[in-house]
């Protein structure tokens, strides 16, 4: 009997080890999560659209006409399909620490600028278009988690103008604090976060991220039997705007 128990214990340990090793190999080597959007992504979208972050979707907003660099930036600017918005959530997958990342370029939005001051900013994101590297995760995200049939969009409205102090020269990035109302899952809450902007090639780029506590927006913790997460996530974005 003791030998049988030992053999069973060894067999279980081997299976667990194989599963853990397989998950570890997949998440760390074969298919690691995409890196966090950063200043390099911001520079890419304002300098060369061919190097901007890629997504699997297409935006309904097409780039508008350009203007000369010395014409200034006063006016209204529209989001283009070079924009990227998405989520980042820490996951424990089969005992392995990793991250779930989903992104889209389906962003409708505009900026209204007067010289060095951002007066208004309004954005709408098609939540159903956000895709990750896992169809199972996507089904959970659009269904039980975000309920896109009831809440198809996520929205942000700037509530306090931002004075950047100067118009950045090409290759120069400026940082400021943004305050506005973020609506997720039908719940609107005031948020404050850091943004970085860059202007070149007649494109304004804006980079930032917002910490999200699921319970604040009535979003259920997405953990299940195999995947567990914390109670928070990150909404990250790098947005491109043309006149």
Alpha helix positions (H), the chain: 2-25, 39-47, 135-140
**Per-residue pLDDT tens digits for 178-188:** 999 999 999 99
Instruction: Note the pTM of the prediction, 2 decimals.
Output: 0.77
Same domain, 117 and 221: yes
Question: Can you give the CATH number for the domain in which 221 is found?
Answer: 2.40.128.110
Whether residues 72 and 133 share a domain: the answer is: yes
**Amino acid 120: pLDDT:** 97
Q: Are residues 7 and 126 in the same domain?
A: no
pLDDT tens per residue across span 204-221: 999 999 999 999 999 988
Higher pLDDT, 94 or 191: 191
107 plus 2 within the same structural domain: no
Residue 54 has a pLDDT of 42
Question: What value does the CA radius of gyration of the chain take, rounded to a whole number of Å?
Answer: 21
CA distance 81 to 177: 25
Task: Report the pLDDT value the prediction gives residue 51, as an integer from 0 to 100.
Answer: 41
pLDDT of residue 31: 45
- Exposed/middle/buried for residue 146 (C-beta within 10 Å: 0-12, 13-18, 19+): buried
Same domain for 26 and 123, yes or no, is no
Cβ neighbours of residue 185 closer than 8 Å, sequence gap 6 or more:
146, 147, 151, 217, 218, 219
- 144 and 108 in a single domain? The answer is yes
User: pLDDT per residue over 120-176, tens digit each?
Assistant: 999 999 999 999 988 988 998 999 899 999 999 999 999 999 998 887 777 799 999
**Residue 129 structural domain:** 35-242
Report which of residues 166 and 72 the model is more confident about: 166
56 and 140 fall within a common domain:
yes
Pair (7, 116) in one structural domain: no
Highest mean pLDDT among 6-15, 91-100, 146-155: 146-155
Residues 98 and 154 in one domain: yes
Contact status, residue 239 vs residue 78, Cβ threshold 8 Å: no
- 13-49 per-position pLDDT tens digit: 433 443 434 443 334 444 445 789 999 999 999 986 4
Q: Do 55 and 103 belong to one domain?
A: yes
Q: 13 with 87, same domain?
A: no
CA gap 204, 199 in Å, rounded: 5
CA 56 to chain centre: 14
Residue 194 has pLDDT above 60, yes or no: yes
Q: Check whether residue 71 and residue 103 sit in a common domain.
A: yes
For residue 216, what is the DSSP state? G
pLDDT at 55: 44
**Of residues 77 and 140, which shows the higher confidence score?**
77
Question: What is residue 45's predicted lDDT score, i.e. its pLDDT?
Answer: 93
Q: In this predicted structure, what is the pLDDT of residue 63? A: 36
- Structural domain total, the chain: 2
């Amino acid at each position: 009997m003791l030998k049988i128990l030992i053999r069973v214990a060894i067999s279980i340990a081997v299976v667990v080890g194989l599963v853990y090793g397989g998950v570890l190999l997949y998440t760390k080597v074969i298919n690691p999560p995409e890196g966090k959007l950063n200043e390099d992504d911001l520079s890419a979208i304002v300098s060369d659209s061919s190097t901007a972050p890629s997504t699997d979707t297409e935006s309904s907003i097409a780039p508008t006409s350009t203007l000369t660099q010395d014409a200034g930036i006063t006016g209204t600017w529209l989001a283009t399909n070079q924009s990227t918005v998405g989520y980042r959530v820490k996951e424990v997958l089969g005992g392995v620490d990793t991250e779930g990342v989903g992104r889209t370029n389906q962003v409708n939005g505009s900026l209204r600028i007067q010289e060095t001051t951002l007066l208004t900013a309004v954005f709408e994101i098609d939540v159903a278009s956000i895709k990750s590297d896992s169809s199972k995760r996507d089904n959970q995200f659009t269904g039980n988690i975000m309920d896109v049939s009831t809440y198809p969009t996520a929205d942000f409205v700037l509530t306090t103008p931002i004075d950047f102090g100067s118009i950045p020269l090409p290759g120069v990035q400026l940082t400021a604090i943004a305050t506005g109302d973020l609506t997720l899952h039908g719940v609107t809450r005031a948020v404050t976060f850091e943004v970085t902007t860059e202007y070149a090639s007649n494109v304004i780029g804006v980079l930032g991220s917002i910490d999200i506590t699921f319970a604040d927006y009535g979003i259920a913790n997405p953990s299940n039997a195999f995947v567990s997460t914390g109670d928070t996530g990150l909404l990250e974005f790098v947005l491109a705007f043309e006149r």
